[in-house]
Amino acid sequence: MAKTAIVTGGSSGIGRAVAIELLRRGVDVTIADIAGAESTARELGCSGARVDVTDAAAVEDLVGGLKADRGRLDFMFNNAGIAVAGRTDELTLDHWNRMLDVNLRGVVHGVQAAYPIMVEQGFGYIVNTASLAGLIPVPLMLPYTTTKYAVVGLSLALRVEAAAHGVKVSAICPGFVDTPLLDHTNPGLPQTEIGRLARTIGVRVQKRLYPADAVARDVIRGLERGQALIVVPSFARRAWSLVRLSPALSVHATRQATRRALP
């Protein structure tokens, strides 16, 4: 029987690239997204479902339905997410609440739906998409940074608890990736100058945006090695190392990088 996987946010970016890598390995993939899931699934030759991850019941129905149909759930990729960027004094509670709903509660909903099934069957892998912004100080996008730190903490703590049940947990922590996320910051919310410049800032900070397909390959390798945190590319690993070596120095370096990146 083929292994099965659900990839939320799978119609574009990292989610789509991960789905492609899983399909290449013979995994039975279901793409879930708030838009474009069915068309992407037809293109890739897999299953697709329109699901809003902020709707806990919808996520539970998706996960439970796949388990009932396929008899197993091997991978749950909680990847759906949005970006909110702007100076903190110009962001509103709407920015914060939307970010918490999608990037944090969306992951919680996926975990709540998939984890009991995996515990019962005695195997499975939960993979949560966090960010380098969940490991280092990242200004000008505090709601995003807050949720990503939370996803890293959730993943590491659950990893310890889940091991006793044969369930694995990892978090993906990429730096700036060349995905539509950078072009659609603050979706459905008041746009900010920082939001409009997200892609430009990313290029200035990292020099080159990392391709989504490269992230997907790194993710699969990281899962095969059982890495707790999959931090890519090399720029991200260097930045993370600096935080662990000297938090104060990392704050200074981030301040300098931010000044250089802003127009």
Percent of the chain with pLDDT over 70: 100
Long-range contacts of 102-108, Cβ-Cβ distance < 8 Å, separation of 24 or more: 102/53, 102/54, 103/144, 103/147, 103/148, 103/151, 104/147, 104/150, 104/151, 105/53, 105/54, 105/56, 106/8, 106/53, 106/54, 106/59, 106/78, 106/80, 106/81, 107/53, 107/78, 107/151, 107/154, 108/154
User: Is 90 exceeded by the pLDDT of residue 72?
Assistant: yes
Q: How far is CA 134 from the centre of its chain?
A: 11
pLDDT tier at 263, thresholds 50, 70, 90: confident
Structure tokens at 186: 């603050």
pLDDT tens digits, one per residue of 168-195: 999 999 999 999 999 999 999 999 999 9
Mean pLDDT of all residues belonging to the chain: 97
State which residues form the domain around 132.
4-261
> What average pLDDT does this structure show over 151-174?
98
> What average pLDDT does this structure show over 148-167?
98
pLDDT at 113: 98
For residue 150, CA distances in Å to 103, 137, 154 come to 9, 13, 6
pTM of the model: 0.97
pLDDT at 221: 98
Q: Are 127 and 76 in contact (CB under 8 A)?
A: yes
pLDDT at 87: 97
Q: Are 174 and 13 in contact (CB under 8 A)?
A: no
pLDDT tier at 1, thresholds 50, 70, 90: confident
CA distance 212 to 217: 9
CA distance 137 to 240: 10
- What CATH number is attached to the domain comprising 164? 3.40.50.720
Q: Count the alpha carbons within 13 Å of 18 in the hemisphere toward its beta carbon.
A: 33
Q: Which residues contact 92 (CB under 8 A, 6 or more apart)?
A: 189, 190
Q: Are 38 and 153 in contact (CB under 8 A)?
A: no
pLDDT tier at 210, thresholds 50, 70, 90: very high
Question: H/E element holding 162?
Answer: helix 142-162
User: Is 90 exceeded by the pLDDT of residue 223?
Assistant: yes
**Poorest-confidence range of 43-57, 110-124, 245-259?**
245-259
User: Is 90 exceeded by the pLDDT of residue 109?
Assistant: yes
State the total domains in the chain: 1
Q: Which residues are catalytic?
A: 144
